[in-house]
Chains A and B, each alone.
Chain A
Amino acid sequence: MSFNRYKDIIEEGDTVILYINPQAMYAIQVQSIIENRKGEKVENVMQTKYGALKISSLFGKQFGSKVNLSHGWAYVLYPTPELWTQTLPHRTQIIYTPDISLIMFMLELKPGSIVVESGTGSGSLTHSMAFRVQPTGHIYTYDFHEQRADQAQKEFKSHGLSDIVTSQCRDVCQNGFCDKVSGKADAVFLDLPHPHLVIPFAIKALKPSGGGRICTFSPCIEQVIRTCQALQDHGFVHLKTVECLEKEYQVLNRTVTTFASASRPPPVATGPQNAIEPEREDKKFVACVPSTSPRGHTGYLTTATYPVENQPPQMVKIEIKCE
């Protein structure tokens, strides 16, 4: 119960992010007592590489405060969608923050937006979207994998998002979206193997007044080509396909040997006169180093707008046939 709104004090049942360093962040459920493998109720103690943390010691602490581990320290952070994306249990390949930010921006989400999403996956994007459209908006999310949809549903409930997110198991390629979302959606997001099959259902879900947005995420260009063709065939306009990769830099203090030191004569191996080494002249500087193996590809994002429906082209054709 801490995902829908910022709060300051940690209580039982909250999720917190234990931050040791950017490479070691863990999402933990704040429960003082848990069941061990034998089914006995025991005190919840978390083991980190800097020692143990008694979970009950977190109660009443402020989000953002420092906690002591037996051999070091860590910070307990509020689970923002961005931190959740970095720490959530993976059930599938997930969408990361750079793509999430673009998806939400290009779908023009704001408080009150009604969004249809498929598939739910691990719920990374769903959490971000829910935070963005609350308190009056809603996310309807579908996954064709029953266990995944179930788990997601439980997670949304325990995170206090049940008022904002409706999760369901459904194969949208076959059956389309639920009737209750027909004509209601401001935006549709598709991340599934065959997005082009879902385009007609997406049109049914979008508000008939026009201007609705669609976004598909596909790792392969072949999927993109089929999607674009389907979008065009169904009258979508302003098709854009974009890829965006985040490049991260480390800022480090570094030292290099100067030209003066390098151009000195080589030291003679023996002899007492060489016992005192000449002082090295080094240059210190602040280096900005790109990460050595950044992500090179995530997926292509294709976005389009559904225009005002004054005279849908199909209807014109039917009239001609009747004559």
Chain B
Amino acid sequence: MTATNLKNIITQGNYLIINKNETYLIHQVSNKATLKLGRDVIDLKASIGQPYSSTFKLEPIPEKKRHYTLVICNDNQARNQWATNGCGTDNKLITDDSSSQLLSTDEIIALKESGETGQNIVERLLENSKTFQLKTEYAQEKYLKKKARKYCDFLTIFKPTIRLVTDVLYKQQTIPKTIPIRFDTLAQILCRVNLDPGGKYLLYENGSQGLLQASLLNQLHDDGCLIHIFSSTAEQNALRAVKAMNFSESKMKQMLTVSLYEILNKRNELDIKEEKDEDDVPICSEDKKRKSDEAYIQVKKKHRSITSMDGLNFLKSNKFDGLIVVCREEPTEIVKTFLPYLSLSRPFVVYSAYREILVSLYAEFKTRRDVVFLRLTDSFMRYHQVLPSRTHPDVTMDNGGGYLFSGLFVEGTK
């Protein structure tokens, strides 16, 4: 099997995106290869060796309640479909008296626990529904969709891509603890910073679980380079998105990490070398939360002890092609500190969940002579339901895209 083929095969130790209905989650296949999903326990062993984007049917394990194994099932047609037999024209005969379903809740739970397939459970529900036949065609479709969601026994495993990882993380973040970056905001950041795959980029990120690092690394070619400036207030699981992308070791080497503290305290090389050992020990022992995340320390440590010097030297001896600031902190000083590291005619982009912060940054930058094309934006983004004769915007919108401030660094007036 060639290398490219191997990349598309589900492998132990890899991170996957697991999709069941509308739920997506990032999961690493451990040695045991089990997945806890709600109250269900799913054995993923059968998926190892299968290509990504495969769909599997959940087969109940007879003796164990709510335990399942997987059986590959890529036939689209075999997936849950139910025959309907006639429909009503409106809902004037349907009254809500909680008696339309003849099966009791206990009976339905018993059905599910008996290991009955989702297909059969929904069939039983339909047989026992007094009102289903009276519903309009559209209402029937909606009803079936709802039931299919509840009793779905299929799951699909995807190869993690930035698009999927962004969506998964967005739903899990909460302001102000972490930063939820919506996909259109991330797309805009990548465009505004004019990502050149062979370019050198400066990133100050804190709070997005590594999503920015992951998406920049993903967009860089072999000769591109990313410097991630991190702070002492880094979050837990700060590299979750980077890990989820299963980057190769050589890809990871394109990212150098440097602490903000070390840059600001312009100590010379010797100083850093001498203090290095002392530096690392207290950081690990003080912060118990970080210690719990072994992989985090490993990645961080590797970059600190091996490449932080390289990163620091690289930072001092190079001009960069773009600056991205996505953080929980007040960004003004950070942007002002790193702007001079850019080559001329290169962009910078700042994200904030709060417009006020960017407004004051904008007001300050308006008086500067070395920045042009300043823009402050947010976006109006909505999904549409597209169905024959029933097409309209989704009834709820998502307003959590945050704000972006961007501009270009140019020659200042002397």
Contact = CB atoms under 8 A, between A and B. Distances in A.
Partners in one complex: yes
A77 B345 contact: yes
A64 interface: yes
B383 A244 contact: no
Nearest to B360: A286
Contact of B377 (A108, A131, A246): A246
B408 A77 contact: yes
Interface residues of B, number: 66
Given A65-B411, A81-B194, A105-B183, A6 B383 contact: no
A152 interface: no
Given A19-B372, A101-B190, A209-B51, A63 B344 contact: yes
Contacts of A102: 183-184, 187
Nearest to B72: A310
A319 B243 CA distance: 45
A112 to B, nearest CB: 8
B378 A136 contact: no
Contacts of B159: 211
A81 to B, nearest CB: 7
Contact of B379 (A62, A247, A253): A247
Given A246-B379, A249-B376, A251-B359, A75 B51 contact: no
A235 interface: yes
A311 B75 contact: yes
A311 B74 contact: yes
Given A22-B373, A105-B190, A108-B161, A131 B196 contact: yes
B410 A101 contact: no
Contact of B384 (A242, A249, A251, A288): A242
Interface stretch (B111-119, B205-213, B215-223, B256-264): B215-223
A240 B383 contact: yes
A100 interface: yes
A308 B54 CA distance: 7
A136 B224 CA distance: 13
Contacts of B380: 244-247
Given A105-B186, A307-B76, A62 B219 contact: no
B345 A221 contact: no
Given A101-B188, A310-B75, A66 B411 contact: yes
For chain A, the bracket of interface size reads 35 or more
From B191, B343, B346, B382, residue with most partner A Cβ within 10 Å? B191
A308 B360 CA distance: 50
Given A64-B408, A251-B376, A286 B363 contact: yes
B382 A242 contact: yes
A39 B409 CA distance: 40
Nearest to B189: A101
Given A75-B411, A108-B162, A310-B75, A249 B363 contact: no
Contacts of A97: 188, 191-192
Contacts of A1: none
A241 interface: yes
A106 B167 CA distance: 11
16 contacts: A62-B344, A63-B344, A65-B410, A75-B411, A77-B408, A78-B345, A80-B194, A105-B190, A110-B197, A110-B219, A131-B195, A241-B383, A242-B383, A246-B379, A246-B380, A251-B362
Given A102-B187, A209-B8, 4 more contacts: A75-B372, A81-B191, A105-B183, A242-B382
